[in-house]
Structure 1
Amino acid sequence: MGICAPLAWPTSKLLDYFLGEEIGTHYNRERLKELVRVTKHVNDLDKEEVNIISGALDLRKKTVNDVMTKLEDVFMLPINSILDFETMSDIVKSVGSGAHQDHRLNVRLLAGYSRIPVYEGNRSNIVTVLFTKDLAFVDPDDNTALRTLCKYYQNPCNFVFEDVTLDVMLKQFKEGHKGHMAFVQRIKREGDSDPVYETIGLVTLEDVIEEMIQAEIVDETDVYTDNRTRKRLTRPLNKLHNVAEFAGHHQHQRVHVSPQLTLATFQFLNTSVDPFRSDLISETVLRRLLKQDVMQHIKLKGDEDKNDPKIYVFQEGKPVRVIGTIVQMMIDE
């Protein structure tokens, strides 16, 4: 190089002056993906690494509309729900039960979500998000209104348009200011009226990562391998436990009443309530009635509204006028 320098250096300067500087070899996204693919047999990259490189290069070309979960496949709650045992049980089942139709709430359950969208009116009108961790201090026996809980936590909703690219979405999720879940909207135009926003689905950080690594992330509670093709898993699922058994709301629960309370109840009924007087019912039968299992867990049918007062015989703090009829029926039997 030292010997040739007196000749090579002036020659290179002349070539740069007349021909311009050498551009070199440049690759766009498609050529770079193809280069990685055709050289994988000579480099030390395995198939998963090639897929990750290709997926990362395609993030700017794909939108959230390509990876989102459709709104009809999302487990949601109406804001006028009551957080009683039935609703809390449905929330627990939604994390690991798979998609099925719940006629009481008129929603579909999709496994794997710990953030539950809350809507008001129609399902596309999402007003807030309920985190399952927000239910840690909620007692199902208190019948807390979901609206009250949502007003207390005030979890914000993140809305994005359907044409947002995945690289922009990944950047938002990495910042973490708006959470790791976003609702996808599209602009709906009807004639000459003003356009309205229509919610069509939701996208999560997991959806973006799955698209980047070109593979589905399946945990132990997932029922489907893909949220778009709805292909079910072939491996056996974990056994689903009955939440009612854990909470003590099963059908054969025995109510333990102390002998003192049983005696006080017997004395009150036998002396103060006419249908239970000794001339109408014997003391032996009355004592046997008091020893019966009086608590039953009843599952409402799909067309029944649990807030309808007509389906209840007794309600706490409200007077009842049907006791005499019920007692008379028991006596007749």
Structure 2
Amino acid sequence: MADDLPCCETKFFLYVLIVIGLVTFAGLMAGLTLGLMSLGLVDLEVLSKSGRPQDRNHASKILPVVKNQHLLLCTLLIGNSLAMESLPIFLDKLVPPWAAVLMSVTLILVFGEILPQAICTRYGLTVGATLAPFVQLLLWAFSPIAYPISKVLDWMLGKGHSALLRRAELKTFVDFHGNEAGKGGDLTHDETTIIAGALELTEKTAKDAMTPILKAFSIDLDRTLNLETLNAIMTMGHSRVPVYYRNPNNIIGIILVKNLLAVDPDDSVPLRKMLIRKIPRVAENMPLYDILNEFQKGHSHIAVVYKDLNETKETMQKTKDIDNLAIKSISHDVDTTFSKADADQVTKKSPPSTPAFKKKHRGCSFCILDLENSPIPEYPPNQEVVGVISMEDVIEELLQEEILDETDEYVNIHNRIKINMNASQEKAPESNSIQFSSIPPASADSGPPLVRSVSTPTGQ
């Protein structure tokens, strides 16, 4: 009772200090419960490795404490409960019972819950790092009670359930950090676009980025390199040109335009006498990441996209992962598909004598077509060529923007006009407008650029 303890004596002030200590301890437990438990393990690991120097120091101190989250939660709640339950007992010795209840509720609510949690929510990292040694001491002191309870929680709810963002959530998270979102982020538009493109690239396949075969420029193997043919190749502005045999869909290889520099148009050299490289073949459902990894090996920067006519939609879904693992190397797959005997002959035999303009190949020998000693490869009847894909197509999907080269002719499908990059650049000093010209009819030997998709450029 209140009259059991006279005022202004030593014991009275001792009880007052105990009450203040219990309120402070309860406030620390409540604040640390909210502050430390709100810090995810992933967030702390990110801060400890790539945060500011002060944040790295704080995160490294907090990580050992929050590593076992259930043990930390049990310890803090036990300490908070002990303080709140003990407070009315000591207040009852100082004030009447009704005042003890009123004061305990008020003190716990204001100084033990609201104020500590508000501070720890704002400065949780700093407060948690400062009190980390004290929390470690509590973990050891309350371990006989908290440890068994934490093990039961681990068994019931699982241990170490750190929240990782899914792909779509991560993309939205990056958008929020862009400076265009108006939330204080410092990522530029190009940075957020490239990150979003990299996240979306795993869901895109060769069919999404390829150039349809009807719009791809290619040249017949039986043609001669006269002035007309060379002009057609140079006009397109490609560094590599697909070569087909008889049927435009039967693309057997590619020729590097730089190898044509030494060709004299008056000699009318047959194209089959030139150095023709094998072209890889990929399925239309092959992920772009796998295609990009194969392009990085350097065997080829262009691949033919085919469609399996015998493959149903149900089979495609079931065997998608198996196909991705089976096509480990495009170059070896092409070599096996075209002709296994072709590879054996090329690796075992030395190449025959070639004209002076047919430069010696510096790379792998199995990447070159041996038209003199091996049959011309043909596609199986169950495979239909639907397009071609280049490394530039994959990079454009990654950047989510068109890459316009100096010789590109970019088609605006809405106005049915064609933008010539050379004409635009020459006209730019004289006028701010872009020079347009009408689209000429496509001929049998030429077509739209290989890697230009038919769309509207940004800002046009």
Could you state the TM-score of these two structures normalised by the residue count of structure 2?
A: 0.43
What SS does the corresponding residue of 2:163 show, helix, strand or coil?
Answer: coil
1:135-146 matched pairs, under 5 angstroms: 135-146=260-271
Q: Deviations over 1:129-168 (max 9, x none)?
A: 111111122111111111122xxx2411111000001111
Closer/same/farther in 2, CA of residues 144 and 23 from structure 1, 3 Å limit: same
Quick check: 1:187 aligned with 2:318?
no
- The match for 1:5 is 136
Quick check: 1:70 aligned with 2:256?
no
Could you tell me whether the CA contact under 8 Å between 2:409 and 2:420 is conserved in 1?
no
Aligned residues: 217
Q: Decide which moves more: 13-22 or 52-61.
A: 13-22
Closer/same/farther in 2, CA of residues 89 and 234 from structure 1, 3 Å limit: closer
Q: Which has the higher contact order (CA 8 A, sep 6+)?
A: 1
> CA–CA distance in 1 between the matches of 2:416 and 2:291?
23
Question: What is the RMSD computed on CA atoms of the aligned residues?
Answer: 2.9
Structure 1: stretches of 5+ with no match in the other structure: 96-112, 240-301, 304-333
Could you tell me whether the CA contact under 8 Å between 1:216 and 1:225 is conserved in 2?
no
Q: Decide which moves more: 11-20 or 205-214.
A: 11-20
1:134-173 matched pairs, under 5 angstroms: 134-149=259-274, 153-173=275-295
> CA–CA distance in 2 between the matches of 1:13 and 1:127?
69
Could you tell me whether the CA contact under 8 Å between 1:170 and 1:208 is conserved in 2?
yes
Q: What is the Cα deviation at residue 56 of structure 1?
A: 0.3
> CA–CA distance in 1 between the matches of 2:271 and 2:135?
84
What SS does the corresponding residue of 1:160 show, helix, strand or coil?
Answer: strand
Amino acid at match of 1:169: I
Q: What is the Cα deviation at residue 25 of structure 1?
A: 2.0
- The match for 1:199 is 385
> CA–CA distance in 2 between the matches of 1:12 and 1:125?
72
Q: Which has the higher helix share?
A: 2
Quick check: 1:211 aligned with 2:349?
no
Could you tell me whether the CA contact under 8 Å between 1:218 and 1:225 is conserved in 2?
no
What SS does the corresponding residue of 1:201 show, helix, strand or coil?
Answer: strand
> CA–CA distance in 2 between the matches of 1:12 and 1:58?
45
Closer/same/farther in 2, CA of residues 91 and 183 from structure 1, 3 Å limit: same
- The match for 1:30 is 168
Larger radius of gyration: 2
Closer/same/farther in 2, CA of residues 234 and 114 from structure 1, 3 Å limit: closer
Could you tell me whether the CA contact under 8 Å between 2:243 and 2:254 is conserved in 1?
yes
Amino acid at match of 1:202: V
- The match for 1:46 is 188
Closer/same/farther in 2, CA of residues 57 and 217 from structure 1, 3 Å limit: same
What SS does the corresponding residue of 1:123 show, helix, strand or coil?
Answer: strand
Amino acid at match of 1:210: E
Could you tell me whether the CA contact under 8 Å between 1:223 and 1:237 is conserved in 2?
no
> CA–CA distance in 2 between the matches of 1:14 and 1:226?
70
What SS does the corresponding residue of 1:92 show, helix, strand or coil?
Answer: helix
- The match for 1:58 is 200
> CA–CA distance in 1 between the matches of 2:411 and 2:401?
10
Could you tell me whether the CA contact under 8 Å between 1:221 and 1:238 is conserved in 2?
no
> CA–CA distance in 1 between the matches of 2:381 and 2:272?
29
Could you tell me whether the CA contact under 8 Å between 2:407 and 2:420 is conserved in 1?
no
Could you tell me whether the CA contact under 8 Å between 1:84 and 1:140 is conserved in 2?
yes
Q: Deviations over 1:109-136 (max 9, x none)?
A: xxxx211111111100112211111112
> CA–CA distance in 2 between the matches of 1:222 and 1:143?
28
- The match for 1:94 is 236
Q: What is the Cα deviation at residue 6 of structure 1?
A: 3.5
Could you tell me whether the CA contact under 8 Å between 1:220 and 1:237 is conserved in 2?
no
> CA–CA distance in 1 between the matches of 2:150 and 2:385?
58
- The match for 2:153 is 19
- The match for 2:12 is none
Could you tell me whether the CA contact under 8 Å between 2:210 and 2:389 is conserved in 1?
yes
> CA–CA distance in 2 between the matches of 1:217 and 1:94?
16
- The match for 2:11 is none
1:107-126 matched pairs, under 5 angstroms: 113-126=238-251
Q: What is the Cα deviation at residue 22 of structure 1?
A: 3.4
Q: What is the Cα deviation at residue 214 of structure 1?
A: 1.2
Amino acid at match of 1:167: Y
Structure 2: stretches of 5+ with no match in the other structure: 1-131, 312-379, 427-442, 445-460
Q: What is the Cα deviation at residue 63 of structure 1?
A: 0.4
> CA–CA distance in 1 between the matches of 2:195 and 2:416?
26
Closer/same/farther in 2, CA of residues 89 and 196 from structure 1, 3 Å limit: same
Q: What is the Cα deviation at residue 203 of structure 1?
A: 0.7
Could you state the TM-score of these two structures normalised by the residue count of structure 1?
A: 0.59
Amino acid at match of 1:114: S
Identity %: 33
Could you tell me whether the CA contact under 8 Å between 1:52 and 1:214 is conserved in 2?
yes
